[in-house]
Amino acid sequence: MSAASVRADDSSADPALPDPDPQRLVDSSLSYYHENGRIMAVEPVVNLSADFGNDETLGINVTFDSLSGSTPNGAIPSTKPQTFATPSGHNLSGVPQTYTTPSGTLGTVTSPIYTTLPGQLPMDPNYQDQRLSISSSYQKPLSRLMRVTMGGDVSYEHDFLSTSVNGALARDYNDKNTTLSVAGNAEFDLVHPIGGSPVPLSDYTLFDKVGNHTKHDLNLIFGLTQVMARRWLSSANLSVDRFSGYLNDPYKIISVVDSGGNVTGYLYENRPNNRTRASAFWENRFGLSRTMIGVSLRYMADDWGIRSDTAQLRLRWWNSDHNKYVEPQLRWYKQTQANFYTPWLTSMTVPSTFASADERLGAFHALTWGLKYAFQYGGDADVGPSELSVRAEYYTQVADNRLPGPGVLQGLDLYPGLQAILCQVEWKFGY
């Protein structure tokens, strides 16, 4: 996924300052992400922007991701070895099978399988993906107090294609101390999972899969930004998302267990085809002489029953020359579970409607600790200083509402949680 290229409330640029000559800025970064025992990702990003003055800007962003490693398939640990096929597989035998090609010749294929040891969380160890995303945005003034922003995004993975367009309108009031904005985004996605889309709630061992699917997202954001005082900027957003179409994760399954805790089979998950989500976001920035304090809060609710709270704190400490800074960051997040989330099914509770064991739809809380160091150099009257920075984050996720497993599952860790590190090197320079 990529972040939006349009902000609904980007009004804090000081209109009183003279616009510099048209200048170009290159913002580039290289990131490394690694989960404990799971996936790792490398992500180079280049963002080019040109500021033509008078609120007219153009930006282009190119992002590439390369992911590999292990990813949970949704099943729970068991006291016995468990064998699964990778998404491209068609059986669990591991035996080569003969097939006929469209041209009539015979071929053989071996379904890649993997076995999870007793007590271990089942994970597909062969996960690989690459993503290329290109986005752009253009902002221009409509009048002295009003500006419009338009943008678009194309993101391609070998099993997913996403396209979106967005636009925003912002108007200043009260000597440009108040800005109201409205922004909209329309996204169209094509989902073509490896091996096909499994039939929802079908038996995993049947490998009953069909073709491609689509999904859509419409998003509206209403924003208000207010200069509260000389050192205090406040901004609030209300947003509504409407997702529709294929919202399943095609690679996630659910374990079915008997009353003794023995795994008797697996089903593919099934989520509703629609989701409406609303969120409120509030950000404040306080500028002291050598310190910036940023505090943001977000509350989100959707019609899947998920509620989440997020709080984030950033502190930026500048040195006395104002050319180096250290920025610690802390983020706290908590969500409730979707009303169809279930870590496993028993043979007596196989649903006829919706069910998912995706841990991302379960109840959990998460903490992020981050630290950034940056130094600036160069710069003149026309071009601002360049900046080189390094940043590291540590993310932990801990499950809430831990149901004890039945029978033999009681001694197993069914909720292992997640720990991840993220490192980023970023270089910004103008010319």
Partner 1 sequence: MTRRLMLAAALLLGAALLSGCSHLGVKPWQRDVLARPDMQLGDEALGQALDDHLYFSKEASSGGRSFAGGGCGCN
From the list 295, 326, 340, the residue with the least C-alpha distance to 313 is 295
Of 203 and 302, the one with the shorter C-beta distance to partner 1 is 302
Taking the complex as a whole, the smallest distance from the CB of residue 369 to partner 1 amounts, in Å, to: 12
Of 45 and 263, which CB lies nearer to partner 1 in the complex structure? 45
Instruction: For the CB of residue 109, give the shortest distance to partner 1 in the complex, in Å.
Output: 23
Q: What three-state secondary structure class fits 210?
A: strand
CB 98 → partner 1: shortest distance, Å?
Answer: 31
User: Mind giving me the DSSP string for 125-141?
Assistant: EEEEEEEEEEEEEEEEE
The Cα 388–Cα 375 span in angstroms is: 6
Instruction: Using the minimum distance from each CB to partner 1, give the nearer residue, 67 or 169.
Output: 67
For residue 158, what is the DSSP state? T
Cα 1 to Cα 191: distance, rounded to the nearest angstrom = 14
CB of 416 to partner 1, least distance (A): 14
d(CA 52, CA 58): 8
- In this structure, are strands 253-257 and 106-109 parallel, antiparallel, or unpaired? unpaired
SS3 (DSSP) at 16: coil
Pick 79 or 126: Cβ nearer partner 1:
126
Closest approach of Cβ 80 to partner 1, in Å? Answer: 26
Closer CB to partner 1, 80 or 307, in the complex: 307
- Least separation in angstroms between residue 174's CB and partner 1 is 4
CB 197 within 8 A of CB 179: no
Q: Looking at the DSSP assignment, which residues form a beta bridge with residue 358?
A: none
CB of 21 to partner 1, least distance (A): 17
The smaller minimum CB distance to partner 1, of residues 383 and 408, is found at: 383
Residue with tokens 């993503």: 131
Q: Give the span between the Cα atoms of 61 and 78, in whole angstroms.
A: 45
Whole-number minimum distance, CB 215 to partner 1, in Å? Answer: 9
Closest distance of CB 107 from partner 1, Å: 28
Q: Which residue type sits at 360?
A: R
Residue bearing tokens 């669990």? 92
Distance CA 289, CA 319 (A): 10
Question: Cα–Cα distance between 295 and 314 in angstroms, integer?
Answer: 6
Among residues 266 and 395, whose Cβ is nearest to partner 1?
A: 395
Nearer to partner 1, 263 or 341 (CB): 341
Alpha-carbon gap, residue 68 to 360, rounded angstroms: 19
- DSSP 8-state class, residue 347: T
Instruction: For residue 322, give the 3-state DSSP assignment.
Output: coil
Least gap, CB of 103 to partner 1 (angstroms): 33
Residue closer to partner 1 by CB (options 261, 335) is 335
Question: Residue 17 contacts by C-beta under 8 Å, 6 or more apart in sequence?
Answer: none
Give the span between the Cα atoms of 67 and 75, in whole angstroms: 21
Q: Using the minimum distance from each CB to partner 1, give the nearer residue, 77 or 87.
A: 87
Can you read off the two tokens belonging to residue 191? Answer: 């989902």
Residue 34: both structure tokens together:
């690694």
DSSP annotation of 270: B
